[in-house]
Amino acid sequence: MEQFTSGWKRNYYGKGDVNVYRLQRDGQGEHPFFGANVKVSLYGDAFWPTYTHGDNTGLIATDSMKNFIQRETLNYHGGDLFAYCRFLAEKFLGLYPQVEGLQISASEIPYRRTGRMSFTPAGPEARTARLEMNRTGVVEAVAGVAGFRLLRLGGSAFTGFVRDEYTTLPEIKNRPLHMWLDLEWTCSDEAPGVLAAGIREITFQLFDEFESGSIQEVIYQLGTRLLATYSQIAEVHLEANNRTWDTVAEQGDVMGVFTEARPPYGCLGLRMKR
């Protein structure tokens, strides 16, 4: 269910899972490929009669929203996902005066260049952005990178936790750590998307360098480093999943064979403010 930074809304509606790909067909320019999955949710008292007695006067069809997103992408020439959301939001509010405010979120569909004219799917991590805007201006400006799949061959421990009749997990001093990670941040300058590339590199670097006693410690260290590196970050939100593989056979700490972990996974979250 949607939540809005501006507060509780008695009604909202919109269009989700709108895929769009903008191609610079000659392969030239700074952003010859741009792909995104977009969702828009809008609110306003003008739409309340649709709920109460089916009066669609002033209602913007969600199919029209889909067409707006896809067609207006041709008029956006950048590559920053947050700037793209803001471009769409400002144009939408200018076009439909009955809309009091809206939230637009987008996830990058990442491709990387493999040649002068060719690309291949990239990731799995991908940039994200979320913007809420109303008639007074920007209410929420959030960027992120979601879908990290991180594997560390060793140097991760998990010991000293509570042991009782429900505990079957052994203490481990040197495990291969496999974790998934999503992170988001807000900025004081309302341009959070420009930090995505640097934050991606810091995430990879810290995960490689830091020997941890828990996944909680990993994400705390990452959040601390991000706040120290980027003074414009006001808040960072990190959520990790423990997807560490089950051991099949090992030769000490030198060699091992592993398999996918069972479906239940640990989920660990952290918010840090400046």
Q: What are the catalytic residues?
A: 15, 62
Phi, psi at residue 47, to the nearest 5°? Answer: -95, -5
Angle 211-244-236 from CA coordinates, rounded to 5°: 60
Reading the block at residue 186, the tokens are 């807000």
The CB density around residue 201, as the number of other CB atoms within 10 Å, is 10
Q: Which residues pair with 150 in a beta bridge?
A: 179
Q: CA-to-CA distance for 183 and 192, rounded, in angstroms?
A: 12
Q: CA-to-CA distance for 54 and 48, rounded, in angstroms?
A: 9
The CB density around residue 120, as the number of other CB atoms within 10 Å, is 9
Phi, psi at residue 82, to the nearest 5°? Answer: -65, -45
Enumerate residues 6+ apart whose C-beta is below 8 A from 236: 183, 184, 185, 223, 226, 227, 271, 272
Q: CA-to-CA distance for 43 and 9, rounded, in angstroms?
A: 7
Beta strands in 92-220 (DSSP E): 101-108, 111-113, 119-121, 126-134, 137-158, 172-187
Q: Is 53 left (phi over 0), alpha (psi -120 to 50) or beta?
A: alpha
